[in-house]
């Protein structure tokens, strides 16, 4: 049989006869074991509830040093959750109601109390208080791990900050995120995921002092408050310990799991003086840890704030740029090195930024790639370039081919071939007039899939160019793997082709190799007549560069095309200034 645990009853009563009566009644109680403590004054009662663990107070309303409802209020102010059962000689229902409103759990009328009634009133009050506590606990704690939840974490941090302010101390807030938790959850199911979270929670609790708060604030996100941090109890040591402990192997069911975690740390008051700022900055520092490669910690710095802010702003602005059609295409003509006639053009994107003016692709393409918007923008580029090309042809202008740059992500998109097919048929461009430019970095990854997509594109009649050739690790080997139509020698070689023997030798080798493989070869970044002469001597096919024309608007290129109807002499300076 389970042993009954005695409940501590504090009886506050100055009438010895009533005290005796209660003693007798409680000693007969069958269901609950009561331990009775008696006080005759409010002063003693207040001392008792402060020092001892009292389960319920049985309170006489008329005492030598306290009268009426005030007695309830005084006790509650010391121990707010304390259940109080009022005893009164007065049989007034209104008074009873006021007592309940003041915080009493129940009331008994003297002279009408029997054993069962008293026992029940006391037990119910205790039960109700426990239930209340359970509900509060549930509202403030994470059901899975039992850790504090986001709400309680905020309350504790608020409290910690006000204490630290008085004591002139610092607090460290750690934000923590499990690395790649989702893949474990997806692969092994939520059951395993939940057990992993519970195990992580235990390790987190083991890594800090008992006074520190560890909270689960989201799926696989945790937060920790370290109060009174100074040199001896330093936050980086804790962060290191946490990363090490979480990084140790987990054995869950039959699975051996490894997971890392990233941590961001912000201090009160150095990184913020209120709850929201400290939390936000810990999150910013966490973002830094994650974007730096995970499984590491970072302290918040002001500089990060700007980076994060810029990132958020940029993302929003890029989306807006798409909606408001702020992207524009410029076209750089390419020339046939024999005839000097325009043989094609390369479409190059710019962002007509409402405040900053025309921005080059280097300033936003990496951002578009990072946030996944590149596919949408890439589709727009392809469609616009094809439309423009058809317009030139319809106007009777001979523009040859149009080249469009692709970023890696676009190419391996599920329905990229389909997108291209649709654009070809919607715009009516002759596929042989479209060239897609890929860089080597794009070919290194997903070789098989890339090969498959390139075969598809070539089957449609599109030509493929390898861009920035010579800058990768293994440029030449790609020429064997992939059947390119065009090779574009990177501008870094052309830049020094007339000054450095090595660049001249490599450029010569690239041109002769391309010729051998019957690949069209283009030199980019031609800026001087000496460079042009060198390349012509090596019988390069096409030339692109500032020497002839920078990238220009479609309407400017239209003018150039009209003027070109007059034979263009290759050695002439650019038609455009």
435 interacts with Ca ion by CB under 5 A: no
3 state SS of 126:
helix
Nearer to Ca ion, 106 or 440 (CB): 440
468 interacts with ligand C2E by CB under 6 A: yes
400 interacts with ligand C2E by CB under 6 A: no
227 interacts with ligand C2E by CB under 6 A: no
Which of 547, 513, 508 shows the shortest CA–CA distance to 530? 547
Those residues whose C-beta lies under 8 Å from the C-beta of residue 380, and which sit 6 or more positions away, are 322, 327
Output the smallest distance, CB 438 to ligand C2E, in A: 10
Q: Exactly one of 105, 119, 407, 475 binds ligand C2E (CB under 6 A); which one?
A: 407
Calculate ∠ Cα 549-554-560, nearest 5°: 50
Only segment of 44-52, 219-227, 399-407, 422-430 that touches Ca ion (CB under 5 A): 399-407
Phi and psi, residue 262, nearest 5°: -110, 145
Output the smallest distance, CB 399 to Ca ion, in A: 17
39 interacts with ligand C2E by CB under 6 A: no
Q: Is 475 left (phi over 0), alpha (psi -120 to 50) or beta?
A: alpha
Q: Exactly one of 192, 235, 238, 381 binds ligand C2E (CB under 6 A); which one?
A: 381
Q: Exactly one of 348, 457, 523, 535 binds ligand C2E (CB under 6 A); which one?
A: 348
Query: Which does residue 332 bind out of ligand C2E, Ca ion, none, counting CB within 5 to 8 angstroms by kind?
Result: ligand C2E
Q: Exactly one of 421, 546, 570, 575 binds ligand C2E (CB under 6 A); which one?
A: 546
334 interacts with ligand C2E by CB under 6 A: no
What are the b/e assignments for 36-64, b being 16+ CB within 10 Å? Answer: bbbbbebebbbebbeeeebbbbbbbbebe
Q: Exactly one of 119, 207, 405, 531 binds Ca ion (CB under 5 A); which one?
A: 405
For the window 264-283, what string marks contact with ligand C2E as x by the rule CB under 6 A? Answer: --------------------
The token pair at 479 is: 């020429």
Output the smallest distance, CB 512 to ligand C2E, in A: 22
- Contact positions with ligand C2E (CB under 6 A) in 482-511: 491
Calculate ∠ Cα 539-545-365, nearest 5°: 125
Those residues whose C-beta lies under 8 Å from the C-beta of residue 391, and which sit 6 or more positions away, are none
Q: Exactly one of 272, 344, 472, 525 binds ligand C2E (CB under 6 A); which one?
A: 525
Only segment of 145-153, 231-239, 250-258, 524-532 that touches ligand C2E (CB under 6 A): 524-532
Are 34 and 11 spatial neighbours (Cβ–Cβ below 8 Å)? no
Calculate ∠ Cα 497-500-505, nearest 5°: 65
406 interacts with ligand C2E by CB under 6 A: yes
Q: Exactly one of 14, 115, 194, 527 binds ligand C2E (CB under 6 A); which one?
A: 527
The token pair at 293 is: 């490669």
365 interacts with ligand C2E by CB under 6 A: yes
408 interacts with ligand C2E by CB under 6 A: no
Are 408 and 574 spatial neighbours (Cβ–Cβ below 8 Å)? no
405 interacts with ligand C2E by CB under 6 A: yes
Q: How do strand 34-39 and strand 7-12 relate by DSSP bridges?
A: parallel
Q: Is 496 left (phi over 0), alpha (psi -120 to 50) or beta?
A: alpha
Only segment of 66-74, 176-184, 303-311, 521-529 that touches ligand C2E (CB under 6 A): 521-529
Nearer to ligand C2E, 193 or 344 (CB): 344
Only segment of 194-202, 259-267, 401-409, 513-521 that touches ligand C2E (CB under 6 A): 401-409
Q: Which helix (H) or strand (E) holds 435?
A: strand 434-439
Residues paired with 222 in a beta bridge: 176, 216
Output the smallest distance, CB 261 to ligand C2E, in A: 34
3 state SS of 7:
strand
Query: Which does residue 272 bind out of ligand C2E, Ca ion, none, counting CB within 5 to 8 angstroms by kind?
Result: none
Calculate ∠ Cα 517-522-526, nearest 5°: 150
Those residues whose C-beta lies under 8 Å from the C-beta of residue 489, and which sit 6 or more positions away, are 469, 470, 507, 510, 511, 521, 522, 523, 524
Sign of CA pseudo-dihedral 111, 114, 120, 122 = positive
> From the CB of residue 460, how many other CB atoms can be counted at a distance below 10 Å?
13
Query: Which does residue 177 bind out of ligand C2E, Ca ion, none, counting CB within 5 to 8 angstroms by kind?
Result: none
Output the smallest distance, CB 402 to Ca ion, in A: 12
Q: Which residue has the tokens 């405040």?
A: 355
57 interacts with ligand C2E by CB under 6 A: no
- Contact positions with Ca ion (CB under 5 A) in 503-542: 524
Q: Exactly one of 468, 470, 475, 494 binds Ca ion (CB under 5 A); which one?
A: 468
Only segment of 19-27, 62-70, 129-137, 543-551 that touches ligand C2E (CB under 6 A): 543-551
Residues that contact Ca ion, how many (by CB under 5 A) = 5
Output the smallest distance, CB 486 to Ca ion, in A: 10
3-state helix/strand/coil string of 162-191: HHHHHHCCCEEEEEEEECCHHHHHHHHCHH
Nearer to ligand C2E, 243 or 552 (CB): 552
Nearer to Ca ion, 177 or 437 (CB): 437
* C-alpha distance across the termini of the chain, in Å: 100
In 52-103, alpha helices (H): 69-78, 93-101
Output the smallest distance, CB 543 to ligand C2E, in A: 10
Q: Which helix (H) or strand (E) holds 261?
A: strand 261-268
Give me the residues that bind ligand C2E (CB under 6 A), please.
Answer: 332, 348-349, 360-362, 365, 378, 381, 405-407, 437, 467-468, 491, 524-527, 545-546, 551
């Amino acid at each position: 049989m389970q042993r009954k645990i005695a409940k501590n009853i504090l009886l506050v009563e100055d009438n010895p006869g009533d005290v005796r009566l209660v003693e007798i009644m409680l000693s007969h109680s069958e269901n609950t074991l009561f331990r009775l403590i008696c006080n005759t004054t409010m002063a003693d009662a207040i001392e008792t509830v402060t020092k001892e663990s009292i389960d319920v107070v049985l309170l006489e309303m008329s005492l030598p040093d306290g009268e009426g409802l005030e007695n309830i209020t005084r006790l509650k102010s010391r121990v707010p959750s304390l259940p109080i059962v009022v005893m009164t000689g007065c049989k007034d229902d209104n008074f009873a109601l006021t007592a309940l409103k003041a915080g009493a759990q129940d009331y008994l009328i003297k002279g009408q109390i029997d054993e069962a009634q008293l026992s029940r009133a006391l037990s119910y009050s205790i039960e109700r208080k426990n239930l209340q506590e359970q509900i509060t606990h549930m509202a403030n704690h994470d059901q899975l791990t039992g850790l504090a939840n986001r709400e309680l974490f905020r309350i504790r941090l608020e409290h910690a900050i006000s204490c630290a302010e008085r004591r002139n101390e610092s607090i460290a807030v750690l934000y923590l995120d499990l690395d790649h938790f989702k893949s474990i959850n997806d692969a092994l199911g939520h059951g395993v995921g939940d057990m992993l979270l519970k195990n992580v929670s235990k390790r987190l609790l083991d890594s800090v002092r008992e006074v520190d708060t560890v909270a689960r604030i989201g799926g696989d996100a945790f937060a920790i408050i370290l109060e009174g941090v100074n040199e001896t109890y330093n936050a980086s040591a804790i962060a290191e310990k946490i990363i090490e402990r979480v990084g140790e192997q987990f054995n869950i069911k039959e699975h051996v799991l490894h997971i890392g975690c990233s941590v961001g740390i912000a201090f009160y008051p150095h990184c913020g003086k209120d709850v929201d700022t400290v939390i936000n900055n810990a999150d910013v520092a966490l973002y830094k840890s994650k974007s730096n490669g995970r499984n590491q910690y970072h302290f918040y710095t002001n500089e990060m704030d700007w980076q994060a802010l810029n990132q958020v702003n940029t993302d929003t602005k890029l989306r807006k740029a798409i909606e408001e059609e702020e992207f524009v295409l410029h076209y750089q003509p390419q020339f046939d090195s024999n005839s000097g006639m325009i043989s094609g053009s390369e479409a190059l994107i710019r962002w007509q930024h409402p405040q900053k003016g025309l921005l080059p692709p280097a300033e936003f393409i990496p951002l578009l790639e990072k946030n996944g918007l590149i596919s949408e923008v890439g589709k727009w580029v392809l469609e616009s370039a094809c439309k423009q090309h058809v317009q030139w042809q319809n106007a009777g202008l001979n523009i040859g081919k149009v080249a469009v740059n692709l970023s890696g992500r676009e190419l391996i998109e599920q329905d990229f071939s389909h997108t291209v097919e649709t654009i070809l048929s919607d715009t009516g461009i002759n596929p042989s007039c479209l060239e897609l430019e890929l860089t080597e970095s794009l070919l290194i990854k997903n070789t098989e899939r890339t090969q498959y997509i390139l075969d598809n594109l070539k089957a449609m009649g599109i030509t493929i160019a390898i861009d920035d050739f010579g800058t990768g690790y293994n440029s030449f080997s790609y020429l064997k793997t992939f059947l390119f139509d065009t090779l574009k020698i990177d501008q870094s070689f052309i830049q020094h082709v007339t000054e450095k023997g090595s660049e001249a030798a490599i450029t010569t080798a690239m041109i002769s190799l391309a010729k051998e493989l019957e690949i069209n070869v283009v030199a980019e970044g031609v800026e001087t007549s000496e460079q042009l002469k060198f390349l012509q001597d090596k019988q390069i096919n096409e030339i692109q560069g500032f020497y002839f024309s920078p990238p220009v608007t479609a309407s400017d290129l239209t003018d150039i095309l009209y003027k070109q109807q007059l034979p263009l002499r290759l050695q002439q300076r650019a038609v455009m200034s």
